[in-house]
């Protein structure tokens, strides 16, 4: 979502780094470019104005003029002010007597129902006993969609299509209390636009039961309209937090930067994929790092910890250093990496994925296709060939290429890369692990 903004900002930073010392004129020119980049990214003009004012005030002061590296100091200031604009991280309020109620509101198409399922999955993994409540009797198949999500997540769903949403919420609360549920998530109805009947219904629900949280689900791809929608809901419903969905989309992303400042409502979660685990706790520092092209190593580590088997990883590392690592082991590692999510998303979380950087030159689609081709090549080998690639002669290569739908040169390339990796491992072992690449740490 922030790809264009990231590229623009990094071009500005690259220009700043060309200057040993920064004059007021240099700072002014850089701030003009940053201002244009933010406005083009659909950041609210009042937010841009305030942001540039704060950065400029700090950038022309002693903080930068006395710095050993002025350009890096300006980038540090931009990062800090961007974090301040995004607002502080605010966790879900699940305090007080059980069951605690989380109510999701929003317009149709914002992703409320899918988000309800993702949130249920997240809370269940944290030890909560969750009840999903289908309180949208109007949208065709809304109840069935939530029930399907519930089955997929292993979470119970409460539905009574003949009841009005306020009465349904009250009955669900009783059911959750009697059933020993710690948390209930209420998936309410939406409309194609803000209207009085929608607001009256939502107000009646909050009058009937007292939610711990009322979270507004907003599609981040609709730009500044997201800010207007948030302000519209706030007039009637006590919104306590925001969930920005479709943050993996290709829209300009300015709403994510603007919405906290304009509405005063904290962002609590962001939707980063359609996967059931595609809901992340909002962290302004991590999002700022992604926007500025500094990566999100913490997020990458969390993904790895949740998806990768630590015991298997340790075994693979030992095999590599003992020279027993086979193509079969290599294929299994590739599968684990792919299970962490789309390659483009993983690349975006790695430092160096900025304008001019090596990772910025990697085409995520090509990388994904390459992974698929490598796995297909290895799958086309016999077990003996995977364990002893030395026996793969010209005729075997032709057979493997035909079986995997690839070319012989791709088979040769994979074998060369694998051989080089084995050589590197032998060198590392002989040197007593000196010079071990940081990635293996």
Segment 11-59, tens digit of pLDDT: 888 887 777 777 788 888 888 998 998 888 888 888 899 999 998 888 8
**DSSP annotation string for 129-182:** -EEEEEE--SSTTHHHHHHHHHHHHT-EEE--TTS-HHHHHHHHHHHHHHTT-S
252 pLDDT exceeds 70? no
Residue extents of the structural domains in the chain: 3-86, 100-294, 308-440
Copy the structure tokens of residue 261.
Answer: 């400042």
pLDDT of residue 436: 43
> Tell me: the pLDDT tens digits for 260-297?
888 888 889 988 888 888 888 888 888 887 777 665 44
Q: Which residues in 106-134 are b (16+ Cβ under 10 Å) and which e?
A: bbbebbbbbbbbbbbbbbeeeebbbbbbb
What is the band of 355 on the pLDDT scale with cuts at 50, 70, 90?
very low
- Three-state DSSP class for 405? coil
pLDDT value for 358 = 47
pLDDT tops 60 at residue 434:
no
What Å distances lie between residue 149 and 22, 137, 275, CA to CA? 55, 17, 11
**Which residues, in sequence order, are CB contacts of 99 under 8 Å at separation 6+?**
131, 173, 176, 177, 181, 182, 183, 184
Rounded average pLDDT over 366-376:
83
Q: How confident is the model at residue 227 (pLDDT cuts 50, 70, 90)?
A: confident
Judged against a pLDDT cut of 70, whether residue 244 lies above it is answered with yes
Class of domain 100-294 (CATH, top level)? alpha beta
CATH architecture of 308-440: Orthogonal Bundle (1.10)
Question: In terms of pTM, does the model score above 0.75?
Answer: no
pLDDT in tens, 391-431: 999 999 999 999 999 999 999 998 988 888 777 777 766 66
Region of poorest pLDDT, from 81-95, 159-173, 341-355, 385-399: 341-355
Nearest to 59, CA basis, from 20, 22, 85, 98: 22
Q: What is the pLDDT of residues 155-190, one digit of tens each?
A: 999 988 788 889 999 999 999 999 999 999 999 888
Which homologous superfamily is 3-86 in? SRP54, nucleotide-binding domain (1.20.120.140)
């Amino acid at each position: 979502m922030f790809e264009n903004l990231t590229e623009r900002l990094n071009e500005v930073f690259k220009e700043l780094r060309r200057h040993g010392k920064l004059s007021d004129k240099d700072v002014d020119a850089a701030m003009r470019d940053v201002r244009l980049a933010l406005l083009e990214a659909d950041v609210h003009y009042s937010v841009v104005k305030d942001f540039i004012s704060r950065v400029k005030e700090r950038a022309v002061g002693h903080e930068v003029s006395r710095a050993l590296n002025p350009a890096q100091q300006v980038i540090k200031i931009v990062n800090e002010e961007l974090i301040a604009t995004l607002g502080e991280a605010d966790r879900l309020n699940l305090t007080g007597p059980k069951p605690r109620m989380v109510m999701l509101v929003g317009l149709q198409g914002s992703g409320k129902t899918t988000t309800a399922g993702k949130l249920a999955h997240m809370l269940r993994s944290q030890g909560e006993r969750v009840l999903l409540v289908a309180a949208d009797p109007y949208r065709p198949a809304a109840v069935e969609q939530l029930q399907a999500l519930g089955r997929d997540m292993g979470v119970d769903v409460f539905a009574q299509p003949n009841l009005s949403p306020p009465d349904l919420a009250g009955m669900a609360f009783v059911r959750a209390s009697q059933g020993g549920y710690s948390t209930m998530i209420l998936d309410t109805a939406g409309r194609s636009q803000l209207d009085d009947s929608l607001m009256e219904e939502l107000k009646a629900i909050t009058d009937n039961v007292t939610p711990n949280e009322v979270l507004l689900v907003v599609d981040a791809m609709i730009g500044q309209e997201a800010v207007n929608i948030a302000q519209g809901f706030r007039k009637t419903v006590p919104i306590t937090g925001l969930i920005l969905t479709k943050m993996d989309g290709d829209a300009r992303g300015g709403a994510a930067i603007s919405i906290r400042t304009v509405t005063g409502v904290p962002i609590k979660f962001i939707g980063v994929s359609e996967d059931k685990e595609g809901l992340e706790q909002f962290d302004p520092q991590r999002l700022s790092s992604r926007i500025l092209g500094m990566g999100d190593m913490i997020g990458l580590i969390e993904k790895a910890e949740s998806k990768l088997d630590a015991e298997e990883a340790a075994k693979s590392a030992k095999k590599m250093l003992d020279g027993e690592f086979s193509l079969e082991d290599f294929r299994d590692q590739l599968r684990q990496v792919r299970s962490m999510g789309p390659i483009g998303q993983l690349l975006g979380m790695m430092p160096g994925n900025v304008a001019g950087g090596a990772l910025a030159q990697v085409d995520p689609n090509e990388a994904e296709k390459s992974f698929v081709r490598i796995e297909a090549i290895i799958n086309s080998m016999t077990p003996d060939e995977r364990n002893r690639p030395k026996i793969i002669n010209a005729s075997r290569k032709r057979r493997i290429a035909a079986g995997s739908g690839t070319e012989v040169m791709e088979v040769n390339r994979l074998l060369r890369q694998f051989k080089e990796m084995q050589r590197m491992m032998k060198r590392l072992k002989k040197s007593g692990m000196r010079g071990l690449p940081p990635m293996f740490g």
